[in-house]
Structure 1
């Protein structure tokens, strides 16, 4: 992890909080369900806000509310924010969405060669229905995982891996080969996105689904959450804001991280230190 100076990190966090504030206002105005997730949830419980070295905010919505939100941002905040995802720019290699503050730049090292207008952002994830039948779920998870990773490898030859050593070298080599083949055969990025979207939303009409998941993470199983642990949502403090979180946030986070209340050693602390950063008029 590369470290920010304290002034720069505080400025990044301050702008992200202003984006989050607008996000919350829009969700509340239109009665859209959202919740803080992952590191944002840890920050809320362990620190009352940001994890001290963290530089992003992660929020999620159930798929239907997620898609409504994307339509509403253009109507309500089109002059202030840009929505970046595979629908708005086929070069974007992730299945998440970024709500980007116009006039800023925030380009991560891993994405420095991607032809997208990256700026200071809020990370937004769609949580999809997953079936109770484990056989059907494993097929959905496998399909979404494979297509999402191929989407990344179509644009990125050396993705960030959660491990090193011999295993890391072997997988890096496999990624380089896959990237080369996808590029050589000019596999459509839009095609890869649509295949992943189909897998992720395969059970969107399953109204009695007991679980939700963001299927396109490092593994398709790390974000599984029981619907009863999400709803009803509860409000918690995050810095100077009140935002929604799953009602059983502890259970969700322990499923992802284990003992998340213990600070990780310095070598395992992560951020998104930028290759390019410009606050624009928001400096």
Structure 2
């Protein structure tokens, strides 16, 4: 019993010191929680729903033997805050391109009662080169102007709840070709989605089934196996060395254990540089949406 009491007291001390950490801006984790995502707030409710979705996705991927890891700002959040960046409202996962379609197929063939896999097969208003796990019991409400590209493309989609992005990821990537691929995909989405659906679908089909497979072949011939990026057509351009990413290493996020990159510190330093410092308040990327729970 004494051993457990000592362990409990030690845990309390560690937790207290974690909350006493002062960032470069003079703020602590407690300050950030009070300002952005206090318990019971809409944002905190959204984060906890996303966390449940992430646990479901990770469990499903492990069940079928697909390595699937958290990515991007969620890795920063895990290292810096132990979970969500306080003002953040999304979760990103990445899957090796060779496993991506198998995971998506399984999620579609074995549907969850509340979460749905959204891609161009399940939602003809979705024209992106990645997939999304959507919550059916919430809705993202945009603050963008009614005629804005972002709002129009979002409202063209069938599923509009809280979402977890699932990105295919691969080596042999040619950076300038990926930028060109992203511009092509962005234009299909921004110019045609919600306005000319048949053009959007035609553009998506040409890119997805013809252009991007050719880019992938070019990458296999001229690219570097260890230069890893989001797959052709995704709207992200970070280049990361393979050894920083695989094999996956466990990382704790909001008290849950997920697969993370092999070297999360190196990944964040390459992609985000001085990631342990907080950005100024006016640079904190807060999405222009509200969450309605249904």
TM-score, scaled to structure 1: 0.76
C-alpha RMSD of the superposition: 3.0
Q: Structure 2: any 5+ residue segments left out of the alignment?
A: 1-34
Aligned 1:197-276 pairs, distance under 5 A: 197-198=212-213, 201-202=216-217, 209-214=225-230, 215-216=232-233, 218=235, 220=237, 222=238, 224-274=239-289
- C-alpha spacing 1:65/1:49, structure 2 compared with 1 (3 Å): same
8 Å Cα contact 1:143-1:199 kept in structure 2 = no
Answer with 1 or 2: which has the greater Rg.
Answer: 2
Aligned 1:90-105 pairs, distance under 5 A: 90-105=124-139
Aligned 1:57-76 pairs, distance under 5 A: 57-76=91-110
Between the aligned partners of 1:59 and 1:87, the Cα distance in structure 2 is 20
RCO comparison, higher one (Cα < 8 Å, 6+)? 1
* Structure 2 residue aligned with 1:147: 184
The one-character-per-residue Cα deviations of 1:185-211 (angstroms, maximum 9, x if unpaired) are: 946343354256425644687898223
- C-alpha spacing 1:184/1:46, structure 2 compared with 1 (3 Å): closer
8 Å Cα contact 2:138-2:293 kept in structure 1 = yes
* Structure 2 residue aligned with 1:166: none
Deviation at 1:48, TM superposition (A): 0.8
8 Å Cα contact 2:250-2:257 kept in structure 1 = yes
8 Å Cα contact 2:36-2:86 kept in structure 1 = no
Aligned 1:1-283 pairs, distance under 5 A: 6=38, 7-108=41-142, 109=144, 111-113=150-152, 114-116=155-157, 117-131=159-173, 137-138=174-175, 140-155=177-192, 186=199, 188-191=202-205, 193-194=207-208, 195=210, 197-198=212-213, 201-202=216-217, 209-214=225-230, 215-216=232-233, 218=235, 220=237, 222=238, 224-274=239-289, 277-280=291-294
8 Å Cα contact 2:245-2:262 kept in structure 1 = yes
Secondary structure of the residue aligned to 1:130 is coil
Aligned length: 246
8 Å Cα contact 2:269-2:275 kept in structure 1 = yes
8 Å Cα contact 2:130-2:234 kept in structure 1 = no
8 Å Cα contact 1:144-1:216 kept in structure 2 = yes
Deviation at 1:269, TM superposition (A): 0.5
Q: Structure 1: any 5+ residue segments left out of the alignment?
A: 132-136, 158-178
8 Å Cα contact 1:100-1:120 kept in structure 2 = yes
Between the aligned partners of 1:255 and 1:155, the Cα distance in structure 2 is 35
* Structure 1 residue aligned with 2:15: none
Secondary structure of the residue aligned to 1:18 is helix
TM-score, scaled to structure 2: 0.73
- C-alpha spacing 1:250/1:83, structure 2 compared with 1 (3 Å): same
Between the aligned partners of 1:208 and 1:255, the Cα distance in structure 2 is 17
